A and B are shown apart, each in its own frame.
Chain A
Amino acid sequence: MREPTFLILTALANGPRHGYGIVREVADLSAGRVTLLAGTLYTALDRLAAEGLIAHDHDETVDGRLRRYYRLTGGGITALEAETARLRQLTTAAEARLRHLRSRPA
């Protein structure tokens, strides 16, 4: 799973969000490192919907602007859990090796 996909799924993990909400949440999650552009975001949303990982939740209109909310599906939650576990395993392994490296005498 690529980082923007992981971040989008993570952004939707605590509830449905609309497009701009996802963009802002992804920027927060990545500490400003990842800024999703509209074209990239909707390409990813189309793909995730086709893979059954997200679904349309509801629509709102705010100040005359349409906000379409998306939510994680059961498949999306499973995929996010699997990716989180994979990253955790890698992170744990990397941290263990770094600890070992630092503990070695220079």
Chain B
Amino acid sequence: MPTTEVLARRYRRLLRCYPRDWRRARAAEVIALLLDAAPAGRTRPTAREAVDLVRAGLRCRLGRPASRTVVAWAALATVICGLFAGALASRAAWETSRPQPDRAEAAAILSEVFPGHDLGDIDTPPALFVVYGHPLTLRNVRSVLLGDGGEYQESATGAGATGAPPVPAEQIVAVARLRLTDGGWRVYDPEVSGGVSCADKLCATPMEITDTTLVARRGDTILNASISSQTAVDATYLAVELHRAPPPAVVPAGVLGALLGAAAGWLVFGWASRRTEGRRVSGTAASILFGVTMVLWWLPVLLTAPYLFTHHLAEPHPAWHPPWEWLGQPTASLLFLVGAVCALLALGLAAGPRRDRSPVALVG
């Protein structure tokens, strides 16, 4: 095959970054220019040419060539679609996790780390993620959507010891740290907070107490223990929760989902932008719906992410909070759903018949 044809085929492949209509109207002249500019014997596009064609093709997919803001809007849509898709993919990857520790596993850990404490019944959860202790089902999905989304959290196997601690709280913490370290756990610096405990209803004799939070991780298991120095008979002085760390598939699945979601976001935004270009009524309506979607999707992210970042730095975290929590979901799932409905309406408007625009208009 002549080198010119090989080069033309490779240029044509790069032009797939442009929308099909544009390619039909302009590909021949662009390839002619590229071949005219290429020195004899070249068989491959240069990296600079390839980057330029990809960049220009992606811009062309947005339509509205004279617009100064369309790229910024596309970037907003692309990033948020990537973030949501990444979060969704990471949630799906959570399904590769082992179930939360069962009674036998929890009892072995508790007797190893907290010997001599009567931790009573071990409470095991029904699912990896729960809403008010129950798996997410069609029955309780309504409460998640209508304000209780923050209750959708990773579950934990829990146990607690009540009454007066048999030894001082400091000793419980010290022994637990020692045993955790000996057992191969990575132990994080304990967090100690002060408080007041009352022996009676009138709180005639308030007592200063301390609460120590101990966090450790071994493999895919995370231990959270809360040790209180309180001595009331009916209060819990030791509460322990065991739960799973994110499985290894979460990060690659999240990254892949984010990349695919971002690509889909750019392409779908570009399609809708080109379809609504030059349409006065439906184009304006689609733009307003798109703007509402962006506000409803971005607002929880902008409000939640900085708060969660501060929280993450302030306390020891053996594992990051799940990505959807960084996006304010499912706490703000109602906003997300309303935004999704607006986005679908905008896409519905975009799917309607359109006026012929450039490049056909330019060359016709």
Task: Please report A residues at the B interface, Cβ cutoff 8 Å.
Answer: 18-20, 23, 37-43, 45-47, 49-51, 55-56, 65-68
Contacts and interface: CB of A to CB of B under 8 A. Distances in A.
Given A42-B26, A56-B362, A20 B33 contact: yes
B30 A19 contact: yes
Contacts of B34: 38
Nearest to A68: B29
8 closest residue pairs by CB, A with B: A39-B56, A65-B32, A46-B65, A39-B52, A50-B66, A19-B33, A37-B52, A20-B36
A40 B33 contact: no
A43 B362 contact: no
Chain B binding surface SS class: helix
Interface size class of B (residues with CB under 8 A): 20 to 34
Contacts of A55: 362
11 contacts: A19-B33, A38-B30, A38-B56, A39-B56, A41-B33, A42-B56, A43-B59, A46-B60, A49-B358, A51-B66, A65-B36
B13 interface: no
Contacts of A43: 56, 59-60, 65
Given A38-B53, A46-B358, A46-B359, A19 B66 contact: no
A38 B17 CA distance: 13
Interface of B: 26, 28-37, 48-49, 52-57, 59-60, 64-66, 358-359, 361-364
A16 B106 CA distance: 81
A38 B52 CA distance: 8
Contacts of A56: 362-364
Contacts of B33: 18-20, 23, 38, 41
B52 A50 contact: no
Contacts of B26: 42, 68
A49 B65 contact: yes
Residue among A19, A23, A51, A67 with the highest chain B CB neighbour number at 10 A: A19
Given A42-B26, A42-B56, A37 B49 contact: yes
Contacts of A42: 26, 30, 56, 60
Contacts of A40: 52, 56
Residue among B26, B31, B49 with the highest chain A CB neighbour number at 10 A: B26
B362 A46 contact: yes
Nearest to B30: A38
Contacts of B35: 65
Given A19-B29, A66-B29, A50 B36 contact: no
A39 B53 contact: yes
Nearest to A45: B362
Contacts of B32: 19-20, 65-67
A12 B237 CA distance: 84
B299 to A, nearest CB: 33
B4 to A, nearest CB: 10
Contacts of A39: 49, 52-57
A37 B48 CA distance: 8
B225 to A, nearest CB: 59
Nearest to A41: B33
Contacts of B55: 39
